[in-house]
């Protein structure tokens, strides 16, 4: 089946579909009991990411259950610093951790063996391309340089990424070198994902919202634009979604400055602004993940509001961030039914 016959690829090409296609960020994750069973078998989280057998299985689980229009590769944005030998580990209850990097560490980074380290990821994509239903878009992804750098500088996540912001002010040359190196590596990584079978790719800038205007331009826009330019120079037909969470009004020219085919919208983007952004091309989003946890009227009214505002233009229905472990799969099923125009139940248990 050609890319053009897949609903999400049509939207990424600028078409308006009714109903719009739907997938959810983190759709293969801890809210699904079958994921938790597979996770228990796999060992560590990175073992799960690097095992094609397990990674294929958890990627397919939400497709089997809900029939989403896209499957997104099961992996993590921090496999890139892991490939850069930053000793990445995932501790239960604490999230990702790694060895913090300093100026000397940045100068010592070598990117030449990264793709070899990530070979299991490409094997997962090759298998998924065979195993997925023909109508289902296969999405690859990477983390944006700014977001990946925040973890590399601090060694862990922080509420406002103050360590990375402070490092950038104190050591601007070293920080720019880190961002540009990550952009170069990420472009290579995305090209390899496309070559392994990904139909389209998404760049996650989960921490873009902590940046002021000049910093957003330097740390979020410039590196992402470099990635997209490099990917499209080598794979001109590539379709790329850029998701800058929390960017707000700075999204007004984000598409134009980065060259993204579509922009992801988090749940704080007002729908009137989303309508304006959609005039320039496809948008993706932007249901509050807490509405999926709540279910009932909150879920269905939220979905209806997005469809009413954005359903008349190129839209990929999604959440405004990743689905949370507290979400009930019955609520997800109700959401899918509502978006596709069926007579959904409210997702509430008796």
Question: How far apart (Å, rounded) are the C-alpha atoms in residues 328 and 211?
Answer: 33
Q: What is the mean pLDDT of residues 221-228?
A: 98
Average pLDDT value for residue range 248-269? 98
Q: Which of 3, 53, 76, 131 is catalytic?
A: 76
Q: What is the Cα–Cα distance from 212 to 210, expressed in whole angstroms?
A: 7
Helix (H) or strand (E) holding 278: helix 271-278
pLDDT above 70: residue 348: no
Helix (H, G, I), strand (E, B) or coil at 308: helix
Q: Please give the domain boundaries of the chain with CATH numbers for all domains.
A: 3-339 (3.20.20.210)
Among 237, 198, 244, which Cα is nearest to 220's?
244
Please state the pTM of the whole predicted model: 0.96
Q: Which helix (H) or strand (E) holds 186?
A: helix 172-196
- The whole-chain average pLDDT of the chain stands at 95
Q: For residue 203, how far is the Cα from the chain centroid?
A: 6
With 60 as the cut, is the pLDDT of residue 3 above it? no
Q: Which of 31, 50, 151, 254 is the catalytic position?
A: 151
CA-to-CA separations, 70 to 21, 54, 64, 111, 129, in angstroms, rounded: 8, 18, 12, 30, 12
Let me know: does 275 contact 312? Beta carbons within 8 Å.
no
The two tokens of residue 139 are: 């999405």
Confidence label for 167 from pLDDT (cuts 50, 70 and 90): very high
The tens digit of pLDDT for each residue in 271-315 reads 999 999 999 999 999 999 999 999 999 999 999 999 999 999 999
Cα separation values, 101 from 152, 212, 219, 236, 328, Å: 6, 23, 17, 35, 39
Let me know if 39 is a catalytic residue: yes
Tokens of 217: 């331009």
pLDDT of residue 339: 98
338 is catalytic: no
Q: How far apart are CA 182 and CA 234, in angstroms?
A: 18
Q: Within 13 Å of residue 158, how many CA atoms lie on the same side as its CB?
A: 17
Active-site residue, selected from the candidate residues 31, 35, 39, 255:
39
Please say if 30 is a catalytic residue.
Answer: yes
């Amino acid at each position: 089946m050609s890319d053009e016959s897949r609903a999400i690829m049509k939207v990424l090409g600028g078409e308006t579909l009714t109903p719009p296609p739907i997938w959810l960020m983190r759709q293969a994750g801890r809210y699904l009991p079958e994921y938790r069973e597979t996770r228990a078998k796999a060992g560590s989280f990175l073992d799960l990411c690097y095992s094609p057998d397990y990674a294929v299985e958890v990627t397919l689980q939400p497709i089997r259950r809900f029939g989403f229009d896209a499957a997104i590769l099961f992996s993590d944005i921090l496999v890139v610093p892991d490939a850069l030998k930053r000793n990445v580990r995932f501790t239960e209850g604490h999230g990702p951790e790694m060895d913090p990097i300093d100026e000397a560490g940045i100068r010592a980074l070598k990117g030449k063996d990264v793709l070899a380290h990530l070979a299991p990821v490409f094997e997962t994509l090759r298998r998924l391309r065979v195993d997925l239903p023909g109508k289902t878009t296969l999405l690859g992804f990477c983390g944006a340089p700014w977001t990946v750098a925040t973890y590399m500088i601090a060694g862990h996540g922080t509420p406002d990424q103050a360590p990375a912001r402070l490092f950038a002010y104190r050591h601007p040359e070293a920080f720019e070198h880190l961002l540009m190196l990550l952009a170069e590596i990420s472009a290579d990584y995305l090209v390899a994902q496309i070559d392994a079978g990904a139909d389209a790719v998404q760049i996650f800038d989960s921490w873009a919202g902590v940046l002021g205007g000049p910093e957003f331009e330097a740390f979020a826009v410039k590196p992402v634009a470099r990635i997209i330019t490099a990917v499209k120079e080598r794979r001109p037909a590539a379709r790329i979604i850029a998701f800058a969470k929390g960017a707000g009004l700075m999204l007004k020219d984000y598409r134009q400055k980065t060259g993204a085919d579509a922009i992801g919208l988090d749940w704080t983007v007002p729908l009137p602004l989303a309508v304006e952004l959609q005039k320039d091309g496809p948008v993706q989003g932007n249901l509050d993940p807490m509405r999926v946890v709540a279910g009932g009227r909150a879920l269905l009214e939220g979905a209806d509001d997005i469809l009413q505002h954005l359903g008349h233009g190129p839209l990929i229905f999604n959440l405004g961030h990743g689905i949370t472990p507290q979400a009930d799969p019955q609520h997800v099923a109700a959401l899918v039914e509502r978006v596709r125009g069926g007579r959904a139940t409210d997702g509430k248990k008796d």
